[in-house]
């Protein structure tokens, strides 16, 4: 397996969802590799604390942009802000996202649309707006530019009781793999990361503390898998962290879809604890 170490030193990386969980993990890893950061999330106090921590630990400069990525114009406002600041983004990590849990008919319609907005619309719009800069960075500084989109193990099959979340992550996986193909000769490192359940705030926000498909893993496990993929000469179009999760993802594509759907449905019934 060939290596072409991902080296973003001297470039700027934008991380959405940078106030918690995987977003914080990506910010640390990128700062450690020498990138300056643009940190985007709703909670300004957390972003500012992270910026101080990154500066003290790695000497990294961070631009903090507090923003609700569910707003309709989030991507255009963010890109305009970057332009005004004179910031060129060389790596984009779309880590922001959330899930909801329950029977779709019972869920808050406004919250479901916010889930689509964050997980799909803003991710798509921001990727399209910044892709020219990512490609330019890749051309000018080989192995320094990347596009990382957070999908999920849920992307490989429908997820009853988390219907919108599973569908949104299936979109992210398909979308990212298509971009991987379109940009494969441009030197940009593109991949969709598909973790299972990670010890973050995700399940508390989704109000689903019980289910952990594939078993829990730590943020560091996802970081190791992501950057091992980015350090390859041929970056895979998606990466599934963890051997157990990799087997699970493969089985869901081989088994009859109706069987997979029934199995997932039985194990994700609201209120079920075993």
Query: Is residue 82 pLDDT above 90, yes or no?
Result: yes
Domain boundaries, the chain: 12-267
Sign for the CA dihedral angle at 240, 241, 245, 247 comes to: positive
Among 39-43, 79-83, 157-161, 179-183, the minimum mean pLDDT is found in 157-161
pLDDT band at 270 (very low <50, low <70, confident <90, very high): low
Strand ordering across the sheet containing 189-193: 62-66, 36-41, 12-16, 91-94, 146-150, 189-193, 238-239
pLDDT of residue 254: 77
- Right CATH for 12-267 from 3.40.50.300, 3.40.50.720, 3.50.50.60, 2.70.150.10: 3.40.50.720
Mean per-residue pLDDT, 88-110? 97
Q: What is the 3-state secondary structure (H, E, C) of 167-195?
A: HHHHHHHHHHHHHHHHCCCCCCEEEEECC
* Catalytic residue (choose from 6, 58, 165, 213): 165
DSSP 237: S
pTM for this entry: 0.91
The verdict on whether 181 is a catalytic residue reads: no
Q: Are strands 146-150 and 91-94 parallel, antiparallel or unpaired?
A: parallel
Query: Is residue 259 pLDDT above 70, yes or no?
Result: yes
Q: What are the residues whose beta carbons fall under 8 Å from the beta carbon of 178, sequence distance 6 or more?
A: none
Q: What is the pLDDT of residues 184-234, one digit of tens each?
A: 999 999 999 999 989 765 554 444 444 445 467 999 999 999 999 999 999
Q: Check: CB of residue 147 under 8 Å from CB of residue 134.
A: yes
Residue whose tokens read 């199995």: 263
Q: Cβ-count burial of 51 within 10 angstroms (0-12 exposed, 13-18 middle, 19+ buried)?
A: buried
Pick the residue with more confidence: 205 or 26?
A: 26
């Amino acid at each position: 397996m060939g290596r072409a170490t991902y080296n973003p030193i001297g470039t700027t990386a934008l991380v959405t969802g940078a106030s918690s969980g995987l977003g914080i993990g990506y910010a640390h890893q990128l700062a450690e590799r020498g990138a300056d950061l643009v940190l985007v999330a709703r909670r300004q106090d957390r972003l500012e604390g992270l910026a101080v921590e990154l500066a003290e630990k790695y000497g990294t400069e961070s631009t903090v942009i507090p923003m609700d990525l569910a707003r309709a114009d989030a991507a255009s406002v963010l890109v305009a802000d970057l332009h005004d600041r004179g910031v060129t983004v060389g790596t984009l990590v779309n880590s922001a996202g959330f899930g909801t849990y329950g029977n779709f008919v019972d869920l808050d319609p406004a919250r479901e649309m916010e889930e689509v907005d964050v997980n799909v619309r803003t991710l798509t719009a921001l990727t399209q707006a910044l892709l020219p800069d990512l490609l330019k960075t890749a051309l000018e500084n080989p192995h320094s530019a990347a596009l990382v989109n957070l999908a999920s193990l849920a992307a490989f099959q429908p997820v009853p009781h988390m219907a919108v979340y599973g569908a949104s992550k299936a979109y992210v996986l398909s979308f990212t793999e298509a971009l991987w193909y379109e940009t494969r000769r441009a030197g940009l490192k593109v991949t969709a990361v598909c973790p299972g359940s990670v010890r973050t705030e995700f399940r508390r926000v989704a109000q689903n503390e019980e289910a952990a498909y594939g078993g829990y893993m730590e943020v560091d496990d996802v970081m190791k898998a992501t950057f091992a993929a980015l350090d390859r000469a041929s970056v895979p179009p998606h990466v599934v962290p963890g051997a157990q999760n990799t087997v699970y993802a493969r089985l869901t594509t081989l088994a009859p879809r109706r069987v997979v759907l029934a199995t997932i449905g039985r194990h994700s019934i609201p209120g079920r604890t075993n």
